């Protein structure tokens, strides 16, 4: 009989001492991070749709995991100025993430 899936929040896993790995693609193709701890590994989906690459470029992160470049000046003109809440792509890729950028976490089997 299959075990029920247990979901925990990113914040609670980090408090338990889980280490956050680099951004990767899950089996579904979704981007996220593998968190490793004494109770095993969890995959936490990315809950971010935009990231800053540099002073000129943003990327839109699609559900498929694909990243589409966007001109930063054009985007910021459209929304009325810079948005400091948009994370840096380098931080996301390195696993330096804030809980607001992370969605549901699920246990990895095997």
pLDDT at 45: 94
48 is a domain residue: yes
2 is a domain residue: no
Structural domain total, the chain: 1
- Interval 22-51: pLDDT, tens: 999 988 888 999 999 988 999 999 999 999
1 is a domain residue: no
Of 53, 58, 15, 13, nearest to 33 by C-alpha is: 13
Angstrom distance (rounded) from CA 80 to CA 22 = 32
80 is a domain residue: yes
pLDDT at 34: 96
**Intervals of the chain under pLDDT 70:** 1-7, 110
Angstrom distance (rounded) from CA 9 to CA 94 = 20
pLDDT at 2: 44
Per the structure, the complete domain to which residue 12 belongs is given by 7-107
Q: Count H helices and E strands in the chain, helices first.
A: 3, 8
Predicted model pTM: 0.86
């Amino acid at each position: 009989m299959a075990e029920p899936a247990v979901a925990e929040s990113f914040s609670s896993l980090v408090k338990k001492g889980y280490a956050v790995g680099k951004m990767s693609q899950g089996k579904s193709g979704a981007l996220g991070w593998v968190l490793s701890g004494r109770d095993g590994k969890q995959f936490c989906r990315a809950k971010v749709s935009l990231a800053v690459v540099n002073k000129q470029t943003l990327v839109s992160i699609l559900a498929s995991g694909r990243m589409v470049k966007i001109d930063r000046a054009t985007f910021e003109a459209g929304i009325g100025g810079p948005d400091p809440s948009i994370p840096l792509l380098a931080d996301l890729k390195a696993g330096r993430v804030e809980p607001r950028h992370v969605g549901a976490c699920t246990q990895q089997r095997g």
